[in-house]
Structure 1
């Protein structure tokens, strides 16, 4: 029996590998969760939607990687975990909560949202009891229960209930740091260290590991993981120096040198990725003219290139690099202003804007159901473009917020990012996106960071860690 229709076999279809031929039927596993069409229309009552909650979760949030040798998915191994845990488990109920909150937000089902909050409180009690029973031997199912509960809180967030997911971020981090759960123990592969998204904590001494997105094994360019380690170490020092008005010129000059070194490393990494034309490099699917963008009623439509990627994970890795690179450029501009009030920051701003355009070019890939359809509809002047699954909006939350609150980015672009967040909140049902968009008014967009004291930048980083945790779990 040919296995070519399974997503894991698309490597064969794309010509990257020779076809492995036919598989023995005894090896084939048929799963009932294979992404059915689910009833989520406005005319379907709450009870029927709740009946299909797990199917909705699989359809909207579980993403397989395009190629397991090159990438990761999102909650990719969840079907196998749920199958072992059972439909009435704490894990399954956390998945249902997450899916139902998203639908309830999209369709303004106030009664369902209220009931979910009550269910959430009861489920938390069950979860704490199960953790207590596990003691020091926390299971993978419990780790991902914490992840799903945190994602539920991101989705269900309102202005009256910010920061609820911080407890789950800390819990997930504690489980990983303790070594109680190993995500890839069979393969001896690296796992993420949640405190530093994208970074790897090796479970073996295998020196062949080059990181999650890298230049070829023969390239002299350091892997992105190594650069991000330096970046996060730099962040631990930069705020204290910049916030201290009495910082000496020597301290500022040293910080400027470190920032410039990091900026050069980011630049070299990006150039190496694009020049190799690897599967991880973006491909431009089309270009939206200024006239077409001006006519479009789609809030996230923007003029310029529209890029596509191997999959969502690769696009998100690129955006993580980009927002980090832009932050470094902003730090350089701030230090220059402190050292010399007459310094010209034109070049830094231009480079930041150029990198920002590449983030913008990823937005239709993550928010539109189909990029080709999006381009056709935009060019025709139609506003009827189907939305992507909500997972695309989750993966854009942090990059958009970072751009919207960074003054090196033009005001027009920051306003555009705020509109995108509002759209993700209203059309994809991600509550935190709607909250963030409301904090980004005209006055706060002109401010430094933290336009709302309830939503500090560190809080957004914690949310981002939970979203990245969704990419740790891998299916077979």
Structure 2
């Protein structure tokens, strides 16, 4: 037998002894079979295999995650009469609670198959619940979010009532935790507070919204951080609230959006985001033309570093175009996920989320450059910046199907037949899209059709994934900046290991 070198197939196909087609970042054979593609062994990345402390390594376990299969409550055929909102006769309340927990794991917990490429999302949460009682605060918080986000897509108000009951019970328990922080399990408490905030994001409506802010402030107090999501990028918990092992582990962790194996000496997305924030605040404080001109030059320089970050990513980390949606013959505007153009896939939702954080940051810095050009009265032609904006927005749009669909290949095969996504994917995908879509919808130099499409996608996330805040943002322009910041902080905290 002649040795031709190491196999170039993905890890999943190797284990199954199947011929891999080599598509990156996820092979088509795995996607078609509805399997999680474990990615590829890359010689350039192999030296980073054990970059993290053993504290973060999760023991092998079989996940109990399961997509919710409860049917939507619809009227009896030929009538507008809805059946009674109740559990199937063979399902007890305890079993319903257990199924809701499994659905939560499916929708929100992402365990990376390659930590060199992805930091995951809530990676240790499922394992942590296995060591808890079924009525523990942590389990109840997961169930509250699951019930709160499923009731609207399933048209089952009883789930909303149960979610509210769990939430109210949890508020008292969390309040007691803050009375005495000595001996508190920081990780568990952080998860609970974050989940209470996500619950509020789910139940937001036009008459009552913004209550997630109190949980963002509680999270900030626990972690000794500000309420801006950027405060998480350099977070360190106080010495008095952790043991030495935890302290050592935190000090070794990379940034929220930084992967050591993909590092570049001068390009760190966490630092670039912090620099953008500093420039933006400085632009609001300065008014003299010479100062505005200086800030503009600094903004252009920073934008160049964002471009360098994009170009220096490993191929496995970059999005891959796997298809396209054709132009519809219909005169009606495209539904969620059906904007004509390319469709991209990603290694996982963490990676997809990082790319949209990067894209929004670039959109904001280009917006800052245009703003400073106008304020400094340079009369510069900004048409090139507008073209850059359109390219970035196209990339955001191309990520929407990946975030929202259950099976991207099936969606691409049927997109010409349907006016919008018919089978929603993991709810985390919608959660990660809420703020990027809203920010793009508010940029004045983005075309009106694209901005309307962003609002269409937000409305879909609200109705099909149960996030009331998405519905709110779909029809509420110029919302308070602090409202967005506190929501984004709660979502970003799920990236922390």
**TM-score, normalisation: structure 2:** 0.77
Summarize the Cα distance change of 1:297–1:323 in structure 2 as closer, same or farther, 3 Å threshold. closer
Question: Offset of 1:193 from its aligned partner?
Answer: 10
For residues 135 and 167 of structure 1, what CA distance do their matches in structure 2 show?
22
Alignment of structure 1 residues 26-425 onto 2, 5 Å:
30-31=61-62, 33-36=63-66, 38-43=68-73, 45-46=86-87, 47=93, 49-50=96-97, 52-135=99-182, 137-177=184-224, 195-196=229-230, 199-201=233-235, 212-213=257-258, 219-241=264-286, 247-273=287-313, 276=314, 278-291=315-328, 298-340=335-377, 342-380=379-417, 385-425=422-462
SS at match of 1:52: helix
Contact 1:193 1:200 in 2 (8 A): no
CA distance in 2, matches of 1:329, 1:296: 28
Give ranges in structure 2 of 5+ residues lacking alignment. Answer: 1-11, 17-29, 50-57, 74-84, 88-92, 237-246
* Partners of 2:262 and 2:111 in 1: CA distance: 25
1:300 deviates by 2.8
Call closer, same or farther: CA 1:405–1:136 in 2, change over 3 Å: farther
> Cα–Cα, structure 1 residues 225 and 306, in superposed 2: closer, same or farther, change >3 Å?
same
CA distance in 2, matches of 1:341, 1:87: 64
| Distance change (3 Å), C-alpha of 1:363 and 1:401 | same
SS in 2 for 1:307: strand
Distance in 2 (CA, whole Å) between partners of 1:434 and 1:11 is 33
* Alignment correspondent of 2:27: none
Paired with 1:343 and 1:372, the residues of 2 have a C-alpha distance of 44
User: How far did 1:37 drift?
Assistant: 5.0
Distance 1:215 1:125 in 2: 40
C-alpha contact (below 8 Å) 1:297/1:383 kept by paired residues: yes
> Is the CA contact (8 Å cut-off) linking 2:151 and 2:159 kept in structure 1?
yes
Deviation string, structure 1 residues 160-191 (Cα, Å, up to 9, x no partner):
2211111211221222238xxxxxxxxxxxxx
Q: Aligned partners of 1:30 and 1:385: how far apart in 2? A: 32
Change over 3 Å in CA distance of 1:36–1:269 after alignment to 2: closer
Count of aligned positions: 428
- CA deviation after TM superposition for structure 1 residue 50, in Å: 4.1
Cα deviation, residue 302, structure 1: 0.7
Mapped contact 1:159–1:435 kept (Cα < 8 A):
yes
Match of 2:385, SS state, is helix
SS in 2 for 1:285: strand
TM-aligned CA deviation for residue 36 of structure 1 = 3.3
2: CA distance, partners of 1:129 / 1:95: 19
CA contact 1:173–1:193 (8 Å) conserved in 2? yes
CA contact (8 A) 2:320 2:346 kept: yes
Aligned to 2:495: 471
Give the CA deviation at 1:439: 1.1
Deviation at 1:374, TM superposition (A): 1.3
Match of 2:469 among 429, 432, 436: 432
Distance 1:332 1:370, change over 3 A: same
Q: Displacement of 1:351 after TM fit?
A: 0.7
User: Partners in 1 of 2:231 and 2:37 — Cα distance?
Assistant: 28
Change (3 A) 1:207 1:74: closer
Change in CA separation of 1:269 and 1:403 when aligned onto 2, cut-off 3 Å:
same
Structure 1 residue 438 displacement after superposition:
2.0
CA 1:415–1:326 in 2, change beyond 3 Å: closer, same or farther? Answer: same
Q: Distance in 1 between matches of 2:330 and 2:348?
A: 25
Offset of residue 201 of structure 1:
4.5
Q: Deviations over 1:357-379 (max 9, x none)?
A: 11111111101111111111113
**By how many angstroms is 1:318 displaced?**
0.9
Question: In structure 2, how many angstroms separate the alpha carbons of the residues matched to 1:336 and 1:284?
Answer: 35
Structure 2 distance, partners of 1:208, 1:42, is 42
For residues 395 and 41 of structure 1, the distance between their equivalents in structure 2, rounded to whole angstroms, comes to: 25
Please report the TM-score for the alignment, with normalisation by the length of structure 1: 0.80
Q: Give the Cα separation in 1 of the matches to 2:143 and 2:462.
A: 19
Give me the whole-angstrom Cα distance separating, in 2, the residues matched to 1:96 and 1:316. Answer: 24
- Partner SS state of residue 335, structure 2: coil
- 8 Å CA contact 1:282–1:309 kept in 2: the answer is yes
